[in-house]
Structure formats: structure tokens, C-alpha cells
Amino acid sequence: MATSVCRAGSAASKALFKARSPTLLCLKRNRSAVSYAQTLQNIPETQLTTLDNGLRIASEESSQPTCTVGVWIGAGSRYENEKNNGSAFFLEHLLFKGTKKRPQAALEQEVESLGAHLNAYTSREQTAIYIKALSKDLPMAVEILADVVQNSSLEDSQIEKARQVMLRELQEIDSNQQEVAFDFLHATAYQGTALSRTVVGPSENAKKLTRADLVDYVNSHFKAPRMVLAAAGGINHKELCDLAQRHFSGLSYTYENDAVPLLTPCRFTGSEIRARDDALPLAHIAVAVEGPGWNSSDNVALLVANSIIGNYDVTYGGGKNLSSRLGRTSAEYNACQSYQTFNIRYSDTGLFGIHFATDKHNIEDMLHIAQGEWMRLCTSVTESEVARAKNVLKTALVNQLDGTTLVCEDIGRQILNYGQRIPLEEWNSRIDAVSAKTVQEVCSKYLYDKCPAVAGVGPIEQLPDYNRIRSAMYWLRF
């Protein structure tokens, strides 16, 4: 039957294109446009419930046979200090090493028997633990998740094994020049503040963190009001709330001596850091200005601006026909191997910038071209560029919600950052509201005549002096 449908569809399309009727083609395009708008409106609503202890439960129901459920926690390396930096990352390696109820072998066997996937990650402000399973196994998935979050055994033998794994990972990270460049960028941009520290922490801490340090971190930060139980897929919100009440109601919501950990402001400092290594084949350069935090309305315009500049890799096709001016120039003159724009956001600050990898002889040219594009965003970006970039951004937003795991992550992250989940239809409206004038005004606010933070790794002897980089952050206006 499916084959018959495909053949019928093929025959219909051939007939349509043979007719070459402008009316039919226009009708088809209009139907597509209406379909996209209706799709945005028909996305299931995100339901939100709060338990008595402050735990928030958020879910999006669909008819899929699988589901993803996870706990997003407002805790990460920004909540650490120099002594315990790396604790959250260390815990990530221990969460699946057994609980007081389930030894490691039993936990692994139980997850495997469900055909489920259990995973976790840590960032500077958030920690996430999630599981993907069949929808019918939601009760067991929530029970396992609650056990892992609340009852990790943190045995000394497992801590020592995780310590060795972490030290090997630190060596691997040190060989990834892009990650090193971004860590250096944070170190110089937020020097003297909590955001300057890496997520993984220094190797010295990995060698000396004890069980007491990890238990103290859990007791200080794994509190119900700072957690979101998020789920997406073939689930029922009421059932999820009942399961949360059964398994998470015992989560603590009080702090010893009312010592609630608060985020201290992290100041941005225009500065540079250079790690020269002439043995490396490519130089990795990251340049950023201070951007807004999560809740700023300027973020949408900045995302459109980044879409205008785009991303590029030497393996891409298109060459001089790329829509991005920076991409065309990079391809035509071999200015770099790759570049990526970014808008990294935190609670109260952010980093808006560009990272590129290039041969040592092209560093100055690539930096000059990239900063020139920034200044063009502030002064002369066109409506056609903005229209193209908005389409690219809309497509990216839709692609980021392809699958229950991505949807679940979007729910958990947004509830922590915004206190709600902003519907895709509203994001679409915010993007539509951006014009060339908006991009120019917002980019001028964050880019024009601002002091950047610069991080360079590799053969960077030809990286220009900081004052030259700073002087390229404005164009003289007559």
C-alpha cells in the first residue's frame, strides 16, 4: 500500500510540472506557507506544575511511542569555588555508578533491559540527567531517575575510578584547541570571577577532590526549587505529576543555616590571553564582546546578526556562491579553515563573538575581515540579508526540536532560565519583528566601539596587538 501511495504521488507531481500552471504552483506555495503557520500553532502546549517542595514539573505530550524525561538542575561550575572547581563534572561521572538501592551492575542491567539510554551533562550554570525510553516505561524511567539524583552511593572505589577517567578526559580536552580557546576566552573575559573557571576544573582538583567535597556540593545545590522535571513524547502530564509526587516529594527545599547559594555578578573585562605553540598546525582565535543574559529582548536580533555572518568550513560546498559575505570571502581567498559565530548566554551576562581556525599567515587578514563584518552589521546591513538570516534562524529553531530528547532539553533549559517555556510561535513572531534597523541598533549597542576579549591558541605570532584589535571595533563616521 505504501508503494502505491508513493507512485501515485510521483505521478501527480509529474503531471503538475508538465502543466507548468502558475496558478497551481502559487496555490502549492500558499498551502505550504499556511501549513507552516498551522504547524506552529498546533505544537502541543507545555504544561507546568509545581510540587509543595518547589520542584517544577513541565511536559509536552505527543503521540510518539518513546519519551524522554530528565532533571535539569540550576547548578554548575559557576557555583563552585577554586577549591572545589570540577565537582559538578566529577559528579556527572559518578551518577551512573550505582545508588544505595541499585549497585552499578544492577542499574546498568535495569536500564539496558528497558532498551533505554541514560545520560548527563554539565555546563557552567546547569546540570542535566535524563533518560530516553519507551513511553510505556515512563514509571520505571522516573523511578530510576529519582534514585540516581537522590541516592547516588558515591563509593570511594568508584570515586577513584572516576578520578582516573577524568584525568584522561582532561588530557583529551587539552588536545582540542577549539575547547581550549573557549576556556581561555572565559578566563580572560571574566577574569577574577566564577565564570572564568572551566567546567571540568583543573587537574589538581581532579586529583584531590574527596567524597566529602562531592557530598557537600550535592547537599548545597541539589534542592527541589532549583530543579525541573521535564518530559516530552508519549507521556501524560497528570501521570508524570503523580510519579513526581511519589518519587521526588522527599527532595529537600531548605538550606543549612539558611545559607542559600546566590550567583555573584561576573564582570566582563576587555582583555586578551595568548597561548603560543608553533608546533600546532592551525591557530584558533576567539573574539567576543559582552552580550546580554538569557532574559534580554536583544538576543533575537543578535541571533539574526549571527545568521547573517553564518558559519563556514572548508569542506562545505558553495564556495564563492555562499550567501554569507564572510563565508564567500573565506572560501575565495582561503582565509580560514573554518569559523563559527556564537552567542553564549548566562543568567546575567553573555559572550557574543566569533571563533575561527586558520593558518598562521592568515590570522590578521581573517580578523580584519571578521571585524569588518561586525562593523557592517552596525552600519549598513540590508533588509535582504536580514530576511535570509531570519529564514535560516527559523529553520534552525525547528531543527533543534526534532525528537523527544531535544524537546525535553528545551523544556528543562527554558523553565530554568525563563520560568516558562516560550512557544515556538512566539519565537517566530519575535524573529519576524526584527528589521535591518533593529539589527543595526542592537549590534551598535553591543559591538560598536566596545572592548573585546581575545583568546589565541597555536602559532599566533602574527596575531595583531590588542590595541589594533580594539581600534577595529569602530569606523570613523563623517
92 is catalytic: yes
Are 326 and 450 contained in the same domain? Answer: yes
Give a yes or no: residue 214 inside a domain.
Answer: yes
| Per-residue pLDDT, 401 | 85
**Cell 575510578, located at residue:** 161
The answer to whether the beta carbons of residues 293 and 347 sit under 8 Å apart is yes
The CA distances from residue 399 to 229, 415, 428, in Å, are 23, 20, 13
Give yes or no: residues 247 and 283 share one domain.
Answer: no
Cβ partners under 8 Å of residue 146, min gap 6 = 247, 248
Cβ(90)–Cβ(77) below 8 Å: no
| Nearest-angstrom CA–CA distance, 416 and 421 | 9
Residues 421 and 452 in one domain: yes
| Domain match, 375 and 333 both | yes
End position of a domain, from candidates 251, 282, 301 = 251
Sequence-distant (6+) residues with CB within 8 A of 63 are 234
Closest CA to 83 of 226, 219, 162, 194: 194
Does residue 263 belong to any structural domain of this protein? no
Contacts of 310 (CB under 8 A, 6+ apart): 322, 323, 324, 326, 327, 341, 392
Q: Do 439 and 386 form a contact (C-beta atoms < 8 A)? A: yes
What is the side-by-side strand order in the sheet with 66-73?
46-50, 56-61, 227-233, 66-73, 127-134, 117-122
What is the pLDDT tens value at each position of the chain, 478 positions in all? 333 333 333 333 333 333 344 444 444 445 445 466 666 777 889 999 999 999 999 999 998 999 999 999 999 999 999 999 999 999 999 999 999 999 999 999 999 999 999 999 999 999 999 999 999 999 999 999 999 999 999 999 999 999 999 999 999 999 999 999 999 999 999 999 999 999 999 999 999 999 999 999 999 999 999 999 999 999 999 999 999 999 999 998 888 766 777 788 999 999 999 999 999 999 999 999 999 999 999 999 999 999 999 999 998 877 788 889 999 999 999 999 999 999 999 999 999 999 999 999 999 999 999 999 999 999 999 999 999 999 999 999 888 888 999 999 999 999 999 999 999 999 999 999 999 999 999 999 999 999 999 999 999 999 999 999 999 999 865 3
Residues 57, 147: one domain?
yes
How many domains is the chain built from? 2
Distance CA 240, CA 230 (A): 9
pLDDT of residue 13: 39
Intra-chain end-to-end CA distance of the chain, in Å? 70
Q: Are 67 and 231 in contact (CB under 8 A)?
A: yes
CA dist list (Å): 413 to 32, 118, 158, 259, 350: 31, 18, 29, 25, 16
Residues 224 and 278 in one domain: no
| Same domain for 285 and 164 | no
The predicted structure's pLDDT at residue 399 = 86
pLDDT confidence of residue 23: 43
C-beta of residue 474 within 8 angstroms of C-beta of residue 448: yes
Establish if 142 belongs to a structural domain.
Answer: yes
Write the CB contacts of 236 (distance below 8 Å, at least 6 apart in sequence).
Answer: 61
Last residue of a domain, one of 251, 282, 312: 251
Whether residues 229 and 309 share a domain: the answer is no
Do 341 and 457 sit in the same domain of this protein?
yes
Beta bridge partners of 341: 354
Residue recorded with cell 513572531: 429
DSSP state, residue 381: -
User: Angle 73-343-463 (CA atoms, 0-180°, nearest 5)?
Assistant: 125
Determine phi and psi for 352, rounding to 5 degrees.
-110, 120
Residue 477 within a domain: no
Exposure of 218 by Cβ count < 10 A (0-12 exposed, 13-18 middle, 19+ buried)? middle
Note whether 279 and 239 are same-domain residues: no
Q: Is 172 exposed, middle or buried (0-12, 13-18, 19+ CB in 10 A)?
A: exposed
Spatial CB neighbours of 205, under 8 Å, sequence gap ≥ 6? 83, 84, 85, 86
Note whether 99 and 113 are within 8 A (CB): no
CATH number at residue 334: 3.30.830.10
Q: What's the rounded Cα separation, in Å, for the pair 221 and 261?
A: 8
Rounded distance between C-alpha atoms, residue 313 and residue 284, angstroms = 14
Choosing from 196, 221, 251, the residue where a domain stops is: 251
The set of cell numbers assigned to 217 is 556540593
Point out the catalytic residue in the list 92, 125, 385, 409.
92
Does residue 99 lie within any of the structural domains?
Answer: yes
Q: Would you state the pLDDT for residue 85?
A: 95
How far apart (Å, rounded) are the C-alpha atoms in residues 174 and 171? 5
Q: Are residues 73 and 109 in the same domain?
A: yes
**Judgement on whether residues 243 and 316 belong to the same structural domain of the protein:** no
Burial (0-12, 13-18, 19+ Cβ within 10 Å), 254: exposed
User: What pLDDT is stored for residue 261 in this prediction?
Assistant: 74
In-domain check, residue 256: no
Parallel, antiparallel, or unpaired: how do β-strands 312-313 and 338-345 relate?
Answer: antiparallel
Measured distance CA(122)–CA(124) in Å, rounded: 7
Tell me, yes or no, whether 266 lies in a domain: no
Residues 51, 40: Cα–Cα separation, whole Å: 30
Residue 64, domain extent: 46-251
* pLDDT computed for residue 142 by the predictor: 97
User: Is there a domain that residue 62 lies in?
Assistant: yes
